[in-house]
Amino acid sequence: MKIVETKAGLTALINGLKKQGKFIGFVPTMGSLHEGHLSLIKKSKEQCDITVVSIFVNPTQFNNPEDLEKYPRDIKKDKTMLLSEACDILFYPEVKEIYPEPDKRLFKFGDLETVMEGKYRPGHFNGVAQVVSKFFDLVQPNKAFFGEKDFQQLAIVKRLVEQKNYDIQIISCPIIREDNGLAMSSRNARLNADQRNQAAVISETLFQARKMFQKGTNIPDIKSWANNKLSASEGLETEYFEIVDSETLKPISQITDNKHITACVAVHVGDVRLIDNVTFF
C-alpha cells in the first residue's frame, strides 16, 4: 500500500495510473475504520483496478468544535486494517494540505439541505461538498463509494456530481450493523457499555417502525409511536425522527404513487450524536 500525504504526490500517482488506463475506485473516510468502511473498500476492490482510501477528519463539516476535537482517531490501527484489505493507496493529508487557505465556496443544494442533518447541523453539507469536490478533483475516480448510513450525504453527493458534471459513478453501499443492530460508526468508540445497549433502541425503533408500516399503520401514527419510544428510552435524546421521500428527502405524511420512503433518525447518547435510517420500501 502506498501512503501519500501531499496533493502533489497523489496527483503524480494518479496521473501515472490514468496513463496505464487503470479504473480507479475511491472511498473517502474520516478514519477510525470499522467494518462499515471495510465493506465499501471491499466493493471498490471488486469493481475497480485501484482502490484509493482517504482518511481526513474534515474540519469544515463540523458545526460543533467539541465534536471535531473528540472525533476518534487511530491511524495506526487504520493502516493495519487497510493493509489487510489490500488497499492500494491511502491518502492521509494534514488539514493545511487540503486547506492552505480557508475555503470560501458556498454550495447550494436547495431543499436537500434544509431538512434533517442540514437543519440541525448548519454548514455541515457545505463542508462535505468542499472536501468531496477537492478530493474528486485530486483522485479523479471512475467510481466513488458511499455508505447509506449517511443517507442525506449520499443524496448531496449525487447532486454535487450532477451540478459539477463529474464523470464519476456514485455507488451506494448498505449499512453494516453491530450484532445488537446498532449501525456501525466511528463515534460508537465513544460510547461506554451501557450506552451501547441504550443505543440499540435506535435501530430497534426503525425496524419496528418499518414493520408497522408494512402492516398498514399510517405515517403520522408511526412517527408519534417512534418519538414516544425514543423519548421513553433511558439515555437517549432524540433530535429528529423523520419519514421522508427517499429521493427528495421531503418529510411525508402519506404515501403517494410508488415512492420509496425512508425513516431517518438522529439521537444523542450522552454527548455522542448518532444517526441511522431504514428504508421502508
| The only residue of 38, 183, 191, 264 in contact with ligand AMP, by rule CB under 6 A | 183
Question: Whole-angstrom Cα distance, residue 23 to residue 18?
Answer: 8
Q: Give 176 or 266: the residue with its C-beta nearer to ligand AMP.
A: 176
State how far the alpha carbon of 97 is from the alpha carbons of 6, 53, 75, 91, 106, in Å: 7, 17, 17, 11, 20
Catalytic residue among 37, 124, 260, 268: 37
Question: Catalytic residue at 34?
Answer: no
Grid cell at residue 33? 475504520
| The only residue of 44, 54, 186, 262 in contact with ligand AMP, by rule CB under 6 A | 186
Residue carrying the nine cell digits 475504520:
33
Angle made by CA atoms 59, 273, 152, in degrees to the nearest 5: 70
Using Cβ positions, the residue closest to ligand AMP within the complex turns out to be 147
What's the min distance (Å) between Cβ of 30 and ligand AMP?
Answer: 4
Q: State the burial class of residue 170 (Cβ atoms within 10 Å of its Cβ: 0-12, 13-18, 19+).
A: middle
The interface mask with ligand AMP, positions 31-50, x = CB under 6 A, is -----xx-xx----------
The interface mask with ligand AMP, positions 141-180, x = CB under 6 A, is -----xx-xx----------------------x-xx----
Number of H helices, E strands in the chain: 10, 9
Which residues of this chain interact with ligand AMP, rule CB under 6 A?
Answer: 29-30, 36-37, 39-40, 146-147, 149-150, 173, 175-176, 183-186
Question: Looking at the annotation, which residues are catalytic?
Answer: 37
